[in-house]
Amino acid sequence: MISGEERVKRLRWKARRGLKELDVLFEAFFKAQAESIAVGNWSRLERLLDQEDTVIFGWVSGKELPDDPEMLNLIKTLGNAL
């Protein structure tokens, strides 16, 4: 299992999406949460990044909401990063 700065780098790379809006959002999120991600507090972020761009965009734009309460909290945290 990777940890620390290497984990942040890998997740940051995985967060590079096909939509500029998501790229901007994730970059702000990583700037705000890098330390927390490095110590392992964001396993749900990995689950989010496994979703299709259109699903993530629907969630962050508020057009749809995830059923999973943890994922919903992560979406709210993403929105607060801007």
pLDDT along the chain (82 residues), means of 10: 76 91 94 81 87 95 94 91 81
CA 54 remoteness from chain centre: 14
State the pLDDT at residue 1.
57
Specify the CATH number of the domain 4-80.
Answer: 1.10.150.250
- Do 15 and 74 form a contact (C-beta atoms < 8 A)? no
Q: Give the DSSP H/E element, type plus range, for residue 43.
A: helix 43-49
User: Which pLDDT value is given to residue 27?
Assistant: 93
Residue 81: per-residue pLDDT: 85
pTM for the predicted model, two decimal places: 0.85
Residue 75, pLDDT score: 94
Distance between CA 15 and CA 17 in Å, rounded?
Answer: 6
- Tokens standing for residue 78: 């993403």
Q: Give the model's pLDDT for residue 50.
A: 94
- C-beta separation of 42 from 35 below 8 A: no
